Structure 1
Amino acid sequence: MIDRRGGAGTAVGLHRVLEPAGVLPQAALRLDPDPRIGPDEVRVRVERLNLDAASYRQLHTAHGGDPDAIRREVAGIIRERGKMHNPVTGSGGMLVGTVEEAGPDSPLGLKPGDRIATLVSLTLTPLRIEDGLARWDGRSEQVPCDGHAILFARSIAAVLPDDLPVPLALSVMDVCGAPALTHRVVGGLADPVVAVLGAAGKSGSLSLAAARRAGARRVIGLVPTAEEETRLAATGLADRVVRADARDPIAVAAALGEPADVTVVCVDVPGCEHGAILATAPGGTVVFFSMATSFSAAALGAEGLAADVTMLVGNGYVPGHADMALELLRSVPAVRELFTTRAEADPAG
């Protein structure tokens, strides 16, 4: 029986952990998504999940693109674990829904009827799906569904803006930590050169815009294909767009030519750690945002390359990150165009 009376551990959801005992919800194998809430919890009626890019790519690859198999696996993960926590990538995503009930001691400032996006990972959010994902075709990261989720006192959520379509707002909020941390890092340096790997994607395009706004002297975007190179170059978000496979360290370094003071990794495939390190000047900083990153490979690779670089884990949270990302979307037409094009191409959008 879960103790919902409040007290030590409830603010971070410890009382929702079914196994193993003593770990926090993100590390748990299973959570209890019981809809009855404690005094500092919030229950949300879920209408859409947004799987993180690394997780969806892994699922798509594992099932050869079979949408029915992808849908069955995601539904099975949620049913068995009480949360969306991909056991291969260790990542989840976020959700959109409407607040059904808020406990009297919840500090989140949410009330019934608020339509919100959660800004914490689905890997630590108790979740129950009630429609078997019947409306999702399995072909995109955005998953229409019906169910409920539980937020804790230490959770983060934002009320959805009225001026943006839900799929578009959700796409931005899903990656809002990337531009906020990029802005913080770049803004603390004098005229830095910034390279963004995976620059034509959601987090990549926002990071380009954030780096420029923070005062970068030069912004370079690296992409893997000629199509993305042409598309990104047309936006003007980067001073220079180069093409290379981010998993090929020598190709990355050669494409960039000069090492960057700050390298931001927004690529959703594994194996990009060493290229990012080679792309970064001595004394520079690498910011890893991809959930496909192997942090042991990054640390040992930097050691093996005798690379004096600071490596940061983008944890997805910087104060004010959602507001900043939405403001960039509204004020930088090229960013909005990239996001709108992606959303319109999304079958679930």
Structure 2
Amino acid sequence: MNHEQTSPPPGSTPQAGDPLGTHRVLSPPGAMPQPAERLDADIDREFSTEIVVDVETLNIDAASFRQMEEASGGDLDGVVRLIQETVSRRGKQHNPVTGSGGMLLGTIRSVGALARSRGFSVGDRIATLASLSLTPLALKRIKAVRAASAQVDVEGTAILFLSAPLARMPSDMPERLALALLDVAGAAPQVARLAGPGDAVAVLGAGGKSGLLCAAEARRRVGPEGRVIGLESSAAFADDLRALGICDAVAVVDARDPLAVRDAILPLTGGAGADLTLSCVNVGGVELSAIVGTRDRGKVYYFAMSTSFTATALGAEGIGRDVDLFIGNGYAHGHADHTLDLVRGLPALRELLAARYG
């Protein structure tokens, strides 16, 4: 079957296009945009359900950026080549190793007639809240790479489907900071749903971007009778975490060492384990660590895209641990406003994040 599609004749009414974006899938036939191997990113083909964006910055998923750095031996020019190769071949920034993408910052170029009800207009500064792994993307050039924030300045265009969430950039904080926060906006709202008063919450990778937000949200939710335990492999990030004062205890531990994680958490929870453990580590091999640090019938939430969900499920089964396992859904209703408001309300946290990412 020939899956290539043609533009409507000049002067004709643009086609509607599927709200989920399946009309942009080139291969394999019948796939949804995220698992598809290749997407059509040609903005000359107009569909009335789409929004077209002039892209300025890609915020690469942390696991994806780390993998590309390691594959390039730390050479940022190598990261640039990998991004260019992926986008050229796949029509999207969908890392073939990690399977993850990221999100983007840009300015709206056009809004299809059927997308106008979303309330966005030409010229709006927006960030996408849907993964780059499902967003048609074309790049003219890559201008700069900032490894500390995993942000890449580019010149290009992207296509947003009717179903893809997006947010206007806030006017009260630097755009680079807002972009970094919106990249992990789904983390804190999920903690708000899962943590309750008096709970013991352990955060693996608590000193990183999503980890800091999870620890801060946990602090709000568990109250004075609860405990927030931060585990962080970086001594410098652990010091930052202690200075914030949002954790009752901070331990410098490699999250890839399950027994070290267990031995750090159990003494702080009366030997029972955490009621809720959050994995925010951007490398693999931490699946069992989160499980062994959690009490029987507790909850484990894996936010990082480096997680192997096969290892998670089989690992819990293999050690006979009856815990509820949650997949990190990056989307929650109102998650952008929730996360931005969380940071606005904590000046010390905002200052730290701005210093790193702003």
Q: TM-score if structure 2 supplies the norm length?
A: 0.92
Q: Residues 100 and 113 of structure 1 are in contact (CA less than 8 Å); yes or no, is this contact kept in structure 2?
A: yes
Q: Are 1:14 and 2:22 counterparts?
A: yes
Bigger Rg over Cα: 2
Q: Are 1:338 and 2:352 counterparts?
A: yes
Structure 1 alignment gaps of length 5 or more: 345-349
Q: Are 1:115 and 2:125 counterparts?
A: yes
Alpha-carbon distance in structure 2 between the residues aligned to 1:229 and 1:12 = 41
Alpha-carbon distance in structure 2 between the residues aligned to 1:299 and 1:147 = 40
Specify the alignment match of 2:221 in structure 1. 214
TM-aligned CA deviation for residue 43 of structure 1: 0.2
Q: Alignment partner for residue 102 of structure 1, among 95, 108, 111?
A: 111
Q: Deviations over 1:99-144 (max 9, x none)?
A: 010011114321101000000000000000112x1x1146451111
Q: Are 1:197 and 2:211 counterparts?
A: no
Specify the alignment match of 2:249 in structure 1. 240
Q: Alignment partner for residue 312 of structure 1, among 310, 320, 326?
A: 326
Q: Alignment partner for residue 72 of structure 1, among 65, 78, 81?
A: 81
Structure 2 alignment gaps of length 5 or more: 8-13
Specify the alignment match of 1:154 in structure 2. 163
Specify the alignment match of 2:296 in structure 1. 282
SS at match of 2:114: coil
Q: TM-score if structure 1 supplies the norm length?
A: 0.94
- The 5-angstrom pairing of residues 4-153 of structure 1 reads 5-6=15-16, 10-35=18-43, 36-106=45-115, 107-131=117-141, 133=142, 135-137=143-145, 139-140=147-148, 141-153=150-162
- The 5-angstrom pairing of residues 225-236 of structure 1 reads 225-236=234-245
TM-aligned CA deviation for residue 86 of structure 1: 0.3
Q: Residues 160 and 166 of structure 1 are in contact (CA less than 8 Å); yes or no, is this contact kept in structure 2?
A: yes
Q: Deviations over 1:5-24 (max 9, x none)?
A: 226xx100000000001010
Alpha-carbon distance in structure 2 between the residues aligned to 1:296 and 1:214 = 30
SS at match of 1:146: strand
Specify the alignment match of 1:293 in structure 2. 307
Equivalent AA in structure 2 for residue 14 of structure 1:
T
Q: Residues 85 and 92 of structure 1 are in contact (CA less than 8 Å); yes or no, is this contact kept in structure 2?
A: yes
Q: Residues 16 and 31 of structure 1 are in contact (CA less than 8 Å); yes or no, is this contact kept in structure 2?
A: yes
SS at match of 1:199: coil
TM-aligned CA deviation for residue 212 of structure 1: 1.6
Q: Residues 2 and 16 of structure 1 are in contact (CA less than 8 Å); yes or no, is this contact kept in structure 2?
A: no
Q: Alignment partner for residue 180 of structure 2, among 171, 174, 182?
A: 171
Structure 2 CA distance for partners of 1:273 and 1:304, relative to 1, 3 Å: same
Alpha-carbon distance in structure 2 between the residues aligned to 1:116 and 1:316 = 17
Q: Deviations over 1:280-316 (max 9, x none)?
A: 1111100000010000000000001101100001110
Q: Are 1:266 and 2:280 counterparts?
A: yes
**Paired positions, count:** 338
Q: Deviations over 1:50-87 (max 9, x none)?
A: 00100000001111101111111111111111000000
Alpha-carbon distance in structure 2 between the residues aligned to 1:47 and 1:230 = 33
Equivalent AA in structure 2 for residue 323 of structure 1:
D
Specify the alignment match of 1:347 in structure 2. none
SS at match of 2:250: strand
TM-aligned CA deviation for residue 332 of structure 1: 0.8
Equivalent AA in structure 2 for residue 114 of structure 1:
D
SS at match of 1:204: helix
Equivalent AA in structure 2 for residue 63 of structure 1:
S
SS at match of 2:222: coil
Q: Residues 126 and 168 of structure 2 are in contact (CA less than 8 Å); yes or no, is this contact kept in structure 1?
A: yes
Moved over 4 A (4+): none
| Root mean square deviation, CA, Å | 1.3
Equivalent AA in structure 2 for residue 25 of structure 1:
P
